[in-house]
Structure 1
Amino acid sequence: MIQNRLSIVNGAYIDSVGISSVFQVGDSVDIIPRIKVYAVQREEEIDFGNEGDLKQYNIYSENLPRPLIYENVQTAFFHECPVIRVGAVKVTSISSAGVVHFGSTNTIDGESRVKHIRQLRSRNERSDS
């Protein structure tokens, strides 16, 4: 059960909020950001035409391991002051299913899957140009 509290943020300075990322002030029930990224970086501009099919990479479809929670944890909360107060926060970047959250929530379950390929020319090709 969520222990709702009032969230007061006097100032938030965020330079960048990226794909599938969340900045939230206030309560939520579930935050479940997801992102799948396929990035190719090349020294030379070449389009092979058959790239970008995520099904060819297991990283995008395999099951991610989840922690096994087998302990019986009992909690009790008493909020003497039912307010979350934040003077100011400065965030450079929230990226790739990242979360910045001021408030109460039940679940935050973020997932980011990135396949980054760098294709560099060989040393011989570099010295020929």
Structure 2
Amino acid sequence: MINRLSIVNKAYVNSIGISSLFQIGDSVDIVPRTNVYAVQREAEIFLGNEGDLKQYSFYSELLPKPLITEKIQTSFHHENPTIKVGAVKVISISSSAVVQFGSTNTISAETRVKHIRQLLSGNERKQP
């Protein structure tokens, strides 16, 4: 990994969400992880037995990683070992996302979301 000096004159980030990162500078490994279980109901009903992620197998399944079979040869020449940024404006960084000015050896990000919407039927909506 090539270490460089990162200079950012001005940065504005409106929102950084769950397990996300805004970083100025180098790092070795970045491994953000997010598991989300969200239930949205039209009626205000709260059950006490919800939220056990073990009942959903996709939270624990191994994610496939891409296999790189090609031989890659790289060569780098940095006349100036500095990353210079005048200004950056970021509206939102969310759910295991990374915004970085610098070098990183490895980034391994993961987000798993189970979003359930439970809407009332037409008859249930009409009742007071």
Structure 2 partner of 1:125: 124
1:128 deviates by 2.7
Superposition TM-score, scaled by structure 1 size: 0.96
Secondary structure in 2 matching 1:29: strand
Residue ranges of structure 2 left out of the alignment (5+ in a row): none
Residue ranges of structure 1 left out of the alignment (5+ in a row): none
The percent of aligned pairs where both chains have the same amino acid is: 70
Secondary structure in 2 matching 1:126: helix
Q: Where do 1:17-96 residues align within 5 Å? A: 17-96=16-95
Secondary structure in 2 matching 1:59: helix
4+ aligned runs moved over 6 Å, structure 1: none
Deviation per residue, 1:69-99 (Å, 9 max, x gap)? 1111111100112111111111111111110
- 2:122 and 2:5 map into 1 onto residues whose CA distance is 59
Contact 1:59 1:115 (C-alpha < 8 Å) held by counterparts: no
- 1:123 and 1:86 map into 2 onto residues whose CA distance is 54
Superposition TM-score, scaled by structure 2 size: 0.96
RMSD of Structure 2 on Structure 1 (CA): 0.9
- 2:122 and 2:106 map into 1 onto residues whose CA distance is 49
Q: Where do 1:89-128 residues align within 5 Å? A: 89-128=88-127
2:122 aligned partner, one-letter code: R
